[in-house]
Structure 1
Amino acid sequence: MLKKRKLPPLNSLKAFEAAARTRSVKLASEELSVSASAVSQQIKTLEQWMGFRLLKRGPNSFTLTDKGERYLQQLTVLFDKLDIETAKVIHNFKKTKLRVSTLQSFAAEWLSPRIKSFRETYPEIQLELLTSDYLADLASEEIDLAIRYGPGGYKGVNEEKLMDEMIGPACHPDLLKSGNVLSDYTLLRDSGGPEGIKLTLERWLNKTTEGPGNREDSIAFSDTHLLINAARQGQGVMLGRSVLIADDIRQGTLVPVMTDWQQSPFSYYLVHSDIRGLSETAKYFRRWLLKEVEKFEAQLPASLAVPD
């Protein structure tokens, strides 16, 4: 049976998707190797074909209409899938591999609950998550992307900041019902991670309270994931990190002990080797990850939001 598809012009679709994704006609023109005026004209052609506007145009910029935003989300995925399927045909239908290195705590508390949506969107990509608290050699270990937590300025890589975070004491809500002061609780200490990026509750308490932060009544954990689980079980007070426990705060399994949380001196960075460059599958993961970060930050409780 003949199947007649009603599809818009391909060049118009490519122009709109590139401009909408990058939020720039100029960047779209560079990506597509055409002039900016050609990109603009192709988008107008697409709007005429569809019968409604996809962009709200201003003097020097544009925003997407609601329909334009919804169309972009589907269009980018379709183009990515077409790219992957084409590569599979060329390379004899082999699955495309993607190796991503990240911190154990970030993988367990933030990335793992969200990775299902990436797998559903890109089932053709064979994802391998490598977890370690130490910096991997991306080039020699053939790692496509890494998510790092620290001060930035890493050598031998291209880096892009993903998000900042807030820090402050947090615990199970039942602990606060006792009426005790902060210094009465057992301290849950993080003893793991590379030197230089440790965030200890004792150090934070010494800076922000009058109570002693270095006490015998404490439990030390070399694994941040175990530390957070201990706090969930009501074993004591931990130095909460907003990126790792925001879901717990929303669900009520953990609560801030104090309202005046401070911005962490460290941030999350997405990096890749400046020798190997960024593979196509890595670009898909990056786009997906940035969208997830955007959604996560939009849903953050006001008390955990990083100040502008």
Structure 2
Amino acid sequence: MSKKTTLPPLNPLHVFEVASRLESFTKAARELNVTQSAVSRQIATLEASLNVMLFNRGKDGISLSTSGEYYRREISQAFARIQNATNELRDKKQSDPVRLRVYSTFASRWLIPRLSKFKKKYPEIDLQMNTATKPVDFMREGTDIAIQFGEGEWAGSKSKLIFQDEIEPVCSPEFLDQHRGKELLQLLQASPLIQARLRTRDWCDWLEAVDVDSIKCKYMEFPSSLLAYQAAASGLGVAMGQKQLVKSDVDEGRLMYLFNRPVKRSMGYYAIWPETLTLNTKMRAFLNWLINEAKSDTKAG
């Protein structure tokens, strides 16, 4: 039967390594940011556990005993290896990219056009981006931060609002010219209303918010908001635009607001991450930049 091995208490062992290396309880206390009496107690605990005197105590201070000198030589190698391994792990983590999961429309219409500013400010931070529409599963995916649309609550995650959802109908300038002069109801009934497959509530919510009763409309559905906006810009009908995501199209004249009646919803785009994840320096830098970019947009708007 193998001999049972029992490790000494690890915190006193760490204190001994520091005190033996510095050959001073006072200096050890300073390095460990504790009191000298706390160092003395930890050393006494270790000596009691080993049943060996590790230090000689005298009027002129302390010195390592023969057993203490032997023990210092042996464990110092182990602590050096632990420190080296820890440094290597930290260095590797600091070189890892920030792994993002975003919606394709959010990426193409909002995030990617701004990333050159992020890279200019943080050239040392690499971003690894994946796109998907299904809810993120941090347990199964290699994702640090995800951009999700919702009310701000996700089980097992922390979140920060990027911007609130604000919607308003948009169409191409040519389409508007063709229907200029029509009343709201006439225009909506005569036009194909473009919607994205995952945002089928947008038109209902907007019509309700502007006090338009239920009307018979022709809907044209596309797999994503990205394609819905492209369809509207091509003159196929009227799309429900998310103001933050169609801003560049409106600024550059590809799309126009029809009624100047935006509606804010309770939902929004959030950056979320696992509640068990401690954000490192790179992740915090990206998150803070993301929030500040959204705030700048709001002020500019």
Q: Give me the TM-score of the superposition, normalised by structure 2.
A: 0.63
Task: Classify 1:294/1:200 alpha carbon distance in 2 versus 1 (closer, same or farther; 3 Å).
Answer: closer
Instruction: Give the counterpart letter for 1:170 in structure 2.
Output: V
Residue 140 of structure 1, CA deviation: 3.5
Task: Classify 1:284/1:210 alpha carbon distance in 2 versus 1 (closer, same or farther; 3 Å).
Answer: closer
Is 2:197 the partner of 1:191? yes
Residue 93 of structure 1, CA deviation: 11
- Structure 1 runs of 4+ aligned residues shifted over 6 Å read 87-90
Which whole-Å CA distance do the structure 1 matches of 2:197 and 2:90 have between them? 49
Task: Classify 1:92/1:166 alpha carbon distance in 2 versus 1 (closer, same or farther; 3 Å).
Answer: closer
Is 2:187 the partner of 1:182? yes
1:125 corresponds to which residue? 125
Alignment deviations for residues 106-151 of structure 1 (CA, whole Å, 9 cap, x no partner): 1111011111222232232221111111111124323111111111
Please give the residue correspondences for 1:8-19 in structure 2 after superposition, counting only pairs within 5 Å.
none
Instruction: Give the counterpart letter for 1:182 in structure 2.
Output: L
Task: Classify 1:290/1:224 alpha carbon distance in 2 versus 1 (closer, same or farther; 3 Å).
Answer: same
Residue 228 of structure 1, CA deviation: 0.8
Is 2:110 the partner of 1:115? no
State whether residues 189 and 218 of structure 1, in contact with CA within 8 Å, keep that contact through their aligned partners in structure 2.
Answer: yes
1:295 corresponds to which residue? 296
Which whole-Å CA distance do the structure 2 matches of 1:189 and 1:231 have between them? 10
Instruction: Give the counterpart letter for 1:99 in structure 2.
Output: R
Residue 102 of structure 1, CA deviation: 1.4
Q: How many correspondences in the alignment?
A: 209
Please give the residue correspondences for 1:137-216 in structure 2 after superposition, counting only pairs within 5 Å.
137-178=137-178, 179=180, 180=182, 181-183=186-188, 184-192=190-198, 198-202=200-204, 204-205=206-207, 208=210, 210=212, 213-215=215-217
Residue 274 of structure 1, CA deviation: 0.7
1:66 corresponds to which residue? none
Please give the residue correspondences for 1:1-308 in structure 2 after superposition, counting only pairs within 5 Å.
91=91, 95-178=95-178, 179=180, 180=182, 181-183=186-188, 184-192=190-198, 198-202=200-204, 204-205=206-207, 208=210, 210=212, 213-215=215-217, 217-300=218-301
Which whole-Å CA distance do the structure 1 matches of 2:204 and 2:220 have between them? 12
Which whole-Å CA distance do the structure 1 matches of 2:137 and 2:97 have between them? 18
- The unaligned stretches of length 5 or more in structure 2 are 1-86
Instruction: Give the counterpart letter for 2:195 in structure 1.
Output: R
Which whole-Å CA distance do the structure 1 matches of 2:264 and 2:92 have between them? 49
Task: Find the residue that maps to 2:174 and give its secondary structure.
Answer: helix
Task: Classify 1:205/1:213 alpha carbon distance in 2 versus 1 (closer, same or farther; 3 Å).
Answer: farther
Instruction: Give the counterpart letter for 2:296 in structure 1.
Output: K
Q: Give me the TM-score of the superposition, normalised by structure 1.
A: 0.61
Residue 285 of structure 1, CA deviation: 0.4
- After superposition, the CA RMSD in angstroms is 2.6
More helix per residue: 1 or 2? 2
Residue 177 of structure 1, CA deviation: 1.4
Which whole-Å CA distance do the structure 1 matches of 2:221 and 2:206 have between them? 15
Identity %: 24
Which whole-Å CA distance do the structure 2 matches of 1:280 and 1:140 have between them? 24
Residue 162 of structure 1, CA deviation: 1.7
Which whole-Å CA distance do the structure 1 matches of 2:144 and 2:277 have between them? 8
- The unaligned stretches of length 5 or more in structure 1 are 1-86, 301-308
Task: Classify 1:92/1:177 alpha carbon distance in 2 versus 1 (closer, same or farther; 3 Å).
Answer: closer
State whether residues 205 and 213 of structure 1, in contact with CA within 8 Å, keep that contact through their aligned partners in structure 2.
Answer: no
Alignment deviations for residues 224-280 of structure 1 (CA, whole Å, 9 cap, x no partner): 101111111111101111111122222222111112221123111111111122122
Instruction: Give the counterpart letter for 2:242 in structure 1.
Output: R
Which whole-Å CA distance do the structure 2 matches of 1:116 and 1:199 have between them? 34
Instruction: Give the counterpart letter for 1:189 in structure 2.
Output: Q
Residue 281 of structure 1, CA deviation: 1.3
State whether residues 139 and 275 of structure 1, in contact with CA within 8 Å, keep that contact through their aligned partners in structure 2.
Answer: no
